[in-house]
Homo-oligomer: A and B are copies of this chain.
Amino acid sequence: MIQSVAFIGLGAMGYRMAAHLPKHFDTVYVWNRNFAKAEQHAAEYGTQAVELAQAVQADIIFSCLPTSTEVENLIAQVQLKAGSVWVDCTSGVPESAKKLVQQLEAQQIDFLDAPVSGQTIGAENATLTVMIGGKATAFEKALPAIQAFGKVIQHVGEPGAGFAVKAVNNMLMAVSLCAAAEGFTTLKAHGVNLNQALQCINASSGKSAVTEMILPQRVLNRAFPKTFALPLLAKDTGIALDLVREAALPAPVLALTQSLIQAANLTAEKDSDFSTAVKMYELWSNITLE
């Protein structure tokens, strides 16, 4: 039985995810580096903004931070209690998950890598997809808490498997993004109406989350809303390519895409949304995707 849960890292995703916990649990601690955010969350949702040392005494501790490095640093500073489960919702590095599992095992603490997808709207509506790696017993233990914000919840394998699936998911999205940018600049160069072409493709075999959502909602309308930063996508494609390397497999399309996203990232304006990767292609082709 879960008596208490904690949520560490109240960014755009974490703030909304943590908001669902008080509906299911009496004791919900929140903590954030910028502590004012934690206090605001407590005031808004009835959670308890507490010191980090206290937060990590919960039965289930969620974290949602930029990268695995922040998670490792945090865990290194705290004293956890035996029997608890750390559920890391960061889009992290599989190798880091394996390391943390081993490190925490000695203290009888479980670690699950549990990255989420579904963006802020999914966090708000508790309809996130959660892909989880780690021990089955830990998964069973944490599941009731994860259900507070997740809809599709899958235990995909051993430690690191959740991070691996997330990295590959984001890589596949990056591939679709590059391919769509290439395909649509080509169509426009041939005088094709892009909105009508998009309707055809979205009713056909070439469709993807990129053609269904990202092109119409971010690119063709020139909105490029800042919801998922391009450097984070570059990081995720890097994690995916590292998985390819560790498995010593050939993956030419993924390897090329990682380079292209990194090129787009290194030449993008600071704080750009990931969808601005198409601007590299616009620069190359002198064609605007609109």
- Whether, in the assembled complex, A63 has its beta carbon less than 8 Å from a beta carbon of chain B, the answer is no
In the complex where A164-B192, A175-B175, A250-B284 touch, is A152 in contact with B183 (Cβ < 8 A)?
A: no
- Asked if A200 is an interface residue, CB under 8 A from chain B, the answer is yes
A90 on the interface (CB 8 Å rule)?
no
Bound-complex Cα distance A161 to B239 (A): 25
CB distance from A62 to the nearest CB of B (A): 18
Q: A205-B117, A257-B253 known; A179 and B186 CB under 8 Å?
A: no
Chain A contact patch, size range: 35 or more
Please measure, in the bound complex, the distance between the C-alpha atom of A185 and the C-alpha atom of B131, giving whole angstroms. Answer: 18
Contacts of A281 in B (CB 8 A): 250
Q: Which residue of B lies closest to A183 (CB)?
A: B168
B260 touches A248 (CB 8 A): no
Residues of B contacting A283 in the complex (Cβ-Cβ under 8 angstroms): 267
Q: Which residue of B lies closest to A233 (CB)?
A: B205
Q: Check B248–A186 contact: CB distance below 8 A.
A: no
A284 and B255 contact, CB distance less than 8 A: no
Is chain A's binding surface mostly helix, strand, loop or mixed?
helix
A287 to B257, CA, bound (A): 21
Using Cβ atoms and an 8 Å threshold, which residues of chain B touch A172? Answer: 176, 179-180, 183, 201, 206-208, 211
Q: Within the assembled complex, what's the spacing in Å between the Cα atoms of A243 and B190? A: 8
Most buried by B among A243, A244, A254: A244
Q: Is the CB of B199 within 8 A of A209?
A: no
A259 touches B255 (CB 8 A): yes
A119 partner residues in chain B, CB cutoff 8 A? 205
Q: Which residues of B contact A161 (CB under 8 A)?
A: 190-193
Docked-complex contact B154 and A199, CB < 8 angstroms = yes
**Do B173 and A206 touch across chains, with their CB atoms under 8 A apart?**
yes
Interface flag for A94 (CB, 8 Å):
yes
Which residue of the partner chain B has the closest CB to A168? B183
Whether A183 pairs with B240 at a CB distance below 8 angstroms is yes
How far does the alpha carbon of A267 sit from the alpha carbon of B285 in the complex, in Å? 9
Having A168-B183, A169-B205, A255-B258, one finds 10 other A-B pairs with CB under 8 Å, namely: A154-B197, A161-B193, A168-B201, A169-B204, A171-B179, A172-B180, A185-B249, A206-B209, A249-B285, A267-B284
Q: List 9 A-B contacts (CB under 8 A).
A: A156-B193, A164-B186, A171-B183, A173-B205, A183-B254, A186-B240, A186-B247, A205-B213, A250-B259
